[in-house]
Amino acid sequence: MQSLVSSKFLVLVGESFPMRRALLNSRFAWFHSSVRCTSHVEPNHGSLTLSTLGFETEIEPKIRTKSKMVKPLGSSEGFKNKRKPFGIGTGEKKGVRVLSKQEIESAPFAAKSFSELGVPEVLIERLGKAGFDVPTEVQSAAVPTILKNRDVIIQSYTGSGKTLAYLLPILSVIGPLRGENSGGDGDGGETGKKLGVEAVIVAPSRELGMQIVREFEKILGMDNKKMVQQLVGGANRTRQEEALKKNKPAIVVGTPGRIAELSASGKLRTHGCRYLVLDEVDELLSFNFREDMHRLLEHVGRRSGADLNSNAKKTERQLIMVSATVPFSVVRAAKSWGCDPLLVQAKKIVPLETLSPEPVKLSQSSNTTSSMPSKAAVESLPPALKHYYCVVRLQHKVDTLRRCIHALDAKFVIVFMNHTKQLKDVVFKLEARGVKAAELHGDLGKLGRSTTLKKFKNGEVRVLVTNELSARGLDVAECDLVVNLELPTDSIHYAHRAGRTGRLGRNGTVLTICEESEVFVVRKLKKQLELPIACCNFVEGKLLVTEEEEHTLTDTS
């Protein structure tokens, strides 16, 4: 349902097209080089040194385009760095996989240090302990801007570190790791004067909310853990209220419904709040959340009395909006709720005033958007991803999925579907074929969802079959394959699903398995996303490209 609602937001912000083109060119080059390296490529795209990838220097001299040539891209046989296959009957200990640490190849790291961004020393020390040594580009742009008290929209592609981009400036000012001149209370709810909640962070799903809390905890450590309180729906509300009363957290992270509910009942006092963060803002501004979001935008960090539209009112709190996809509706919302907000991207910071809406052409016969490129979606894709599609009959989809997993020797696979019943069937069929799989969707309770996620993350489950619930924000660093077993509703949804792999510069593969009658949708996605999505097949344990089409950059029909 959320997916349907969000599909309305295809109005786009202005952006640096030349930069994007450069990225696309490199993406295109990558695609072709992958074709060249064909059978030398280690099917798992996780381990990224040349030797671990199994690359050889030998390169095929010519690339054919618009041909129907069949080229093998990978195989689970004959790889130099062959990994143990997974699943039942492979001799693994109780089905738990040994997790291999993926190296990061084209990580979006910045040339600056955390210290140059204005992050206090004590916080930098903690970052080092948590394994964060260098900021990413978007962090490098966002942290100093937020520290200058500016309202911002942070936009950069999936897996580029946007969470830390807002979390660091907040922790630089609030809590025990703050800078000396921050002016924050800093007691973390443990001692001394209490200022109440100082930061409210809103996310559209429980999973994302819980993930953000874990990111805080990585840095704060166990001793300061209580300064951040999780307020997600589906969890026991009374317990959350008691924890609020007892721990007096400085930061709360949760879903719109639960935060709005607690705020309306007076159990959560947010009028004195300094930061309001909306993570996955385009989703939060969708129809589903409108009432709760309206309440939060009106109340968080706003003392009563003043005119809602006055500038004085706007400056009472700092508004931080975040997403990989920023349609113009978000720009409009930021202008009306924020105070002179800036759009912060990895390499560019611009005032929102300079952005104008992009016309959305409707196709003549229907209400659907045309095949023109969707900038919001194009900008959100990590450059190292490889995209394929495969055309099969409906009844062969699961078998194709299984063959793809084996051909690529994928270790952490996320499969996206649209309907819960079909999703359950797929899990059943995969398990019957000896592939460890689990379902994750909204019909499961909070406990069931977090147990499944835990099992997937620790390697007990190889294939997570899920729906749009997991398309946003879910961070499983090792995920090396995303499969669309049912088509996403539009390019924005394709981009968020795809972004579950290729996190922080890692390689990843996205495969769309569709029927002949759906191929036109894939072609439309190719044009909207300006991506080479190659048609492929799986033969004798290898992924074979069956159609190498010209890159669609110039194809604007």
The minimum distance between CB 12 and ligand ATP, in angstroms, equals: 17
Question: Taking Cα atoms as reference points, which of 219, 213, 341 lies closest to residue 279?
Answer: 213
Supply the Cα-derived Rg of the chain in whole angstroms.
23
Which of 74, 502 has the CB closer to ligand ATP? Answer: 502
The minimum distance between CB 170 and ligand ATP, in angstroms, equals: 14
Which position among 69, 122, 477, 519 is part of the footprint of ligand ATP (CB under 6 A)?
Answer: 477
Residue 304 burial (CB count, 10 A): 6
The minimum distance between CB 160 and ligand ATP, in angstroms, equals: 4
What HEC string does 87-133 produce? CCCCCCHHHCCCCCCCCCCCCCECCCCCHHHCCCHHHHHHHHHCCCC
Question: Taking Cα atoms as reference points, which of 159, 117, 106 lies closest to residue 141?
Answer: 117
Query: Which range binds ligand ATP by CB under 6 A, 127-135, 179-187, 302-310, 336-344?
Result: 127-135
- Please provide the DSSP assignment of 284-325 as one string: HTSGGGHHHHHHHHHHTT--TTS-TTSHHHHTTSEEEEEES-
Which position among 171, 324, 487, 529 is part of the footprint of ligand ATP (CB under 6 A)?
Answer: 324
Site for ligand ATP in 140-199 (CB under 6 A): 158-164
Question: Taking Cα atoms as reference points, which of 270, 197, 257 lies closest to residue 231?
Answer: 257
Angle between helices 420-432 and 397-408 (to 10 degrees): 60
Query: Which range binds ligand ATP by CB under 6 A, 54-62, 307-315, 471-479, 480-488?
Result: 471-479
DSSP annotation of 530: T
Residue 194 burial (CB count, 10 A): 13
Q: Is 401 in the site for ligand ATP (CB under 6 A)?
A: no
Angle between helices 256-264 and 237-247 (to 10 degrees): 70
CA dist 30 and 420 (Å) reads 36
Q: Is 136 in the site for ligand ATP (CB under 6 A)?
A: yes
Query: Which range binds ligand ATP by CB under 6 A, 134-142, 145-153, 249-257, 527-535?
Result: 134-142
Which of 162, 314 has the CB closer to ligand ATP? Answer: 162
Query: Which range binds ligand ATP by CB under 6 A, 194-202, 235-243, 293-301, 470-478?
Result: 470-478
The minimum distance between CB 7 and ligand ATP, in angstroms, equals: 18
Site for ligand ATP in 486-505 (CB under 6 A): 499, 503-504
Question: Taking Cα atoms as reference points, which of 222, 170, 224, 173 lies closest to residue 200?
Answer: 170
**Size of site (CB under 6 A) for ligand ATP:** 19
Which of 427, 471 has the CB closer to ligand ATP? Answer: 471
Which of 158, 370 has the CB closer to ligand ATP? Answer: 158
Which of 284, 545 has the CB closer to ligand ATP? Answer: 284
Summarize as ranges the residues that interact with ligand ATP (CB under 6 A). 132, 134-136, 139, 158-164, 324, 473, 475, 477, 499, 503-504
